[in-house]
Structure 1
């Protein structure tokens, strides 16, 4: 049976390669390895009218060249070719080759070719694009994180904000009443709590980069991180004339030094105060308060996550925005774990270990690797629209909703809302079930389900009589939903055994 072929795109590339392995193979190899992976087909050409299967005449030679070159440092710095990922396919009597290139591990990026790191490529749409110098440096930083633990010369206690240190010490004192934290010398305190390290070459104690970001005076931070910029905007009552009603931004005349510690505290308080603004829940007070507390947990974790995992060497603003029905947290630096690992929890790869330590000792974030899990749990428990995570092009964007899926779309018809509501309650459903709902005929049901699929709200599963329709979810959402069901089952078993 002939395999259905799709046009070239973000994860598919065709190479004619009838007689030999084309040089352009390695550029695509590099771009897939540095992106989300993809399939390279040898023996197929993409022409204006259609895809043409031209075939590979000497498959054994091409596969041998592929294996040899993948192990040759003159071609690439990382062998990402696995035997199990190569398939020989047939179209009639014509043979062609499918090579799957998985995403390379973070510590092996950027995967480059022809013995030159400047020949590092990334996949954008259907093309392989050479990385810029900044993109290469970004990948190198991610390959060897913990940059904020680096000791810095020419910076000392004078470059830190004394008021910030005092507030932090008060927090630690409250969590450790048996200790005399407030009486400690500031330098000795910072040394004890991981903000200062010893230079093994000189024996001298020096500030860590993360300590400067966390406690520093803004002017001092900018001296080391010239692109440092934090921005919060309240856009809940946004209009054509008014884009935001409240803002906290570094670089402005603030009455406090806007280091990470102060930004976190000021912005978290403002975020919490927005939770019940236009927050549509039923009138049950306990239900409202429970949901309010849950959203506050999500906001706390999301804010800490954005500050902890940001790449402060990059030229991108850390931006926190509050809208009427959702919040957006954006930070430079892609996640060092997958979206599924973020939602499941447990897996953690810190970009800034010093900042992580300082946040956790203050009680500002949950145990390592549990922040994403908490955020998804809150959405599942309260039947909110699931969080949305984007991590590409050197930055991470997390969107958290405080309303359900139906209310998050403003352009749904009555029939579309009926269909979504029924699917959310019953899981995978048939067209026959949808046609039986009140107000839906066969024509209306088919028309509306087609629109919901186009809007990427609903997905179609199976064909013909086995066709089912369900809410479209990515891997992270499926994991969160499954774990929620498991917890409910565990609670049911415990309650029943009492």
Structure 2
């Protein structure tokens, strides 16, 4: 099952389990577009979640516990509160554009993009697209210097590379790190990635503490 279809399935599950409808005027829907997936369902104002709470998951407020039990037994849904973490993992793994969450007392709208950030800007030149991909694919957390990038683009002069880097920076697709002499460029880290890294560090520290405690017993 592709990530796109899996997200649609998870969205439909969420709609049926957590959608809050009080009369015929309210509705729930999942709309699929070529470049993105849009989820929308009416939400009770009392249960409105912040963006951080939504993507951290682990907390669910289903309207009907019987439906939750039924969906779980059918295999149509998994542990409550785990859906948003799946979305987070898919976005980070594929380097998709960060989801957009809008919530108010009447409704919650979630846009799940299935494209990389640079693809949202079709006006990017070929050089800008190539440079963005090069920077995104590097495993070095410090990023790449202009010279590193220039060495990979033999057919483009220094001016072209510099102009492309400046444009990508202005679009907030990449960021500059360090001063002029030691400057590097790296992909802008999404909020989801930052949250996941913080969670990973917290879990790592907790595991170390537990291991130390068990050795001292």
What TM-score results when the alignment is normalised by the length of structure 1? 0.33
TM-superposed CA distance for 1:414, in Å, is 0.7
Largest Rg, 1 or 2: 1
Q: Secondary structure of the residue that 1:391 maps to in structure 2?
A: strand
Q: Who is 1:411 aligned against?
A: 123
1:398 and 1:310, CA in 2 relative to 1: closer, same or farther beyond 3 A?
A: same
1:328–1:400 Cα contact (<8 Å) kept: yes
Q: Secondary structure of the residue that 1:352 maps to in structure 2?
A: coil
TM-superposed CA distance for 1:357, in Å, is 4.1
TM-superposed CA distance for 1:422, in Å, is 0.9
Q: Number of matched residues? A: 191
Name the CA distance, whole Å, in 2 between partners of 1:368 and 1:294: 19
Name the CA distance, whole Å, in 2 between partners of 1:361 and 1:413: 51
Q: Who is 2:164 aligned against?
A: 448
1:297 and 1:418, CA in 2 relative to 1: closer, same or farther beyond 3 A?
A: same
Counterparts of residues 61-100 of structure 1 (less than 5 Å)? none
What TM-score results when the alignment is normalised by the length of structure 2? 0.68
Name the CA distance, whole Å, in 2 between partners of 1:316 and 1:344: 27
Name the CA distance, whole Å, in 2 between partners of 1:482 and 1:424: 20
1:341 and 1:440, CA in 2 relative to 1: closer, same or farther beyond 3 A?
A: farther
Greater relative contact order: 1 or 2 (C-alpha under 8 angstroms, separation 6 or more)? 2
Q: Who is 2:89 aligned against?
A: 377
Counterparts of residues 117-128 of structure 1 (less than 5 Å)? none
Equivalent of 2:74, from 323, 338, 362?
A: 362
Q: Who is 1:420 aligned against?
A: 132
Find out whether 1:389 has 2:100 as its counterpart: yes
**Higher helix share goes to which structure?**
2
Q: Who is 1:262 aligned against?
A: none
Q: Who is 2:206 aligned against?
A: none
1:457 and 1:326, CA in 2 relative to 1: closer, same or farther beyond 3 A?
A: same
1:460 and 1:294, CA in 2 relative to 1: closer, same or farther beyond 3 A?
A: same
Counterparts of residues 14-53 of structure 1 (less than 5 Å)? none
2:97–2:115 Cα contact (<8 Å) kept: no
Q: Who is 2:191 aligned against?
A: 475
Q: Who is 1:435 aligned against?
A: 150
Find out whether 1:309 has 2:25 as its counterpart: no
Name the CA distance, whole Å, in 2 between partners of 1:404 and 1:461: 22
Q: Secondary structure of the residue that 1:436 maps to in structure 2?
A: helix
Equivalent of 1:350, from 30, 42, 61?
A: 61
Name the CA distance, whole Å, in 1 between partners of 2:182 and 2:41: 43
Query: Gaps spanning 5+ residues in structure 1: where?
Result: 1-291, 485-498
Q: Who is 1:210 aligned against?
A: none
Find out whether 1:318 has 2:34 as its counterpart: no
Q: Secondary structure of the residue that 2:152 maps to in structure 1?
A: coil
Q: Secondary structure of the residue that 1:429 maps to in structure 2?
A: coil
1:318 and 1:461, CA in 2 relative to 1: closer, same or farther beyond 3 A?
A: farther
Q: Who is 2:37 aligned against?
A: 327
For the aligned residues, what is the CA RMSD?
3.4
2:98–2:190 Cα contact (<8 Å) kept: no
